[in-house]
């Protein structure tokens, strides 16, 4: 919250109040409430119905949305569609190469947790009944990691999902031509050096006193909050300030998503192919 005189009051780790300069900068030059440079590129690959490269600073994630006929066995004959998600990191996405989980023969707990988070987040915005018995599979692959990979994946996956819905509508496979009820974006926020900071890179995330991921809708509601006191407890007042910062960041992400989606569909739609 901005106070008179050009200062910003922020809750610190123990709930105390401190006046800090509004021009204070982080190691990467950003203000505390500033997102990294965010870019969304649609049509990043050719084959999926939706394909996006999303960049949050040095974090880069490829998000694809593939459409398949049919649903899981437990969903059959329900008339409902399904949306699922998988998350993975390329071996050289971080400073130290990590082996592929497919080679190890076991999917790690973190990978499963993030995959489920992405699926839950995107199912919150779509009417599965409108899909018929079709499945949309979201695949989020981290090409380069510098903090906030799960929030970048959710933000990019929403755009890929939107393109997949456009594809399904063109193919005449939707019971409702507009099955998406709201926009979805996610952003990280934390307390670093006693200050609430938005969109943490790895350098800040690795030493944050409090770390939180927020998934929000453009209607002002929340899908999920993941928050942890990494080094100590934190008061309700700090939580409120973190949520205020996250909501403001999400609003900026919605604007970037809208700008990306304002461009024409980047591939060839089924109805256009049929006319050739």
Binding residues, by number, are: 110, 148-150
Do 90 and 141 contact (CB within 8 A), yes or no?
yes
- Measured from the Cβ of residue 110, the count of other Cβ atoms closer than 10 Å reads 11
Q: What whole-number distance in Å separates Cα of residue 139 and Cα of residue 168?
A: 18
1-10: long-range contacts at Cβ-Cβ below 8 A with a sequence spacing of 24 or more? 1/241, 1/244, 8/32, 10/195, 10/196, 10/241
Cross-strand pairs, 229: 210
Please provide the distance, in angstroms rounded to a whole number, between the alpha carbons at the two ends of the chain.
57
Cross-strand pairs, 212: 189, 227
User: Which amino acids are annotated as binding site for phosphate, given as ranges?
Assistant: 110, 148-150
């Amino acid at each position: 919250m901005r106070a008179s005189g050009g200062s910003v009051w922020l809750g610190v780790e123990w709930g105390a109040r401190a006046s800090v300069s509004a021009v204070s900068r982080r190691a990467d030059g950003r203000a505390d409430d500033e997102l990294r440079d965010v870019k969304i590129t649609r049509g990043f690959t050719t084959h999926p119905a939706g394909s996006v490269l999303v960049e949050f600073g040095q974090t880069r994630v490829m998000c694809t949305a593939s459409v398949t006929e049919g649903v899981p066995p437990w969903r059959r004959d329900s008339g409902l569609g399904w949306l699922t998600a998988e998350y993975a990191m390329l071996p050289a996405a971080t400073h130290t190469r990590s082996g592929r989980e497919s080679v190890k023969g076991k999917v790690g707990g973190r990978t499963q947790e993030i995959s489920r988070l992405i699926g839950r987040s995107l199912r919150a915005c779509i009417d599965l009944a409108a899909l018929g018995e079709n499945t949309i599979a979201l695949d989020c692959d981290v090409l380069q990691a510098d903090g906030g990979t799960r929030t970048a994946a959710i933000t990019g996956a929403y755009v890929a999902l939107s393109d997949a819905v456009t594809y399904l509508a063109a193919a005449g496979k939707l019971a409702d031509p507009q099955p998406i009820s709201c926009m979805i974006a996610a952003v990280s926020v934390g307390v670093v050096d006693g200050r609430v900071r938005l969109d943490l890179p790895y350098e800040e995330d690795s030493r944050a006193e409090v770390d939180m991921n927020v998934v929000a809708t453009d209607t002002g509601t929340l899908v999920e909050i993941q928050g942890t006191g990494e080094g100590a407890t934190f008061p309700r007042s700090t939580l409120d300030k973190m949520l205020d910062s996250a909501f403001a960041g999400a609003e900026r992400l919605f604007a970037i998503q809208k700008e990306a989606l304002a461009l024409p569909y980047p591939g060839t739609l089924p109805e256009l192919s049929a006319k050739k």
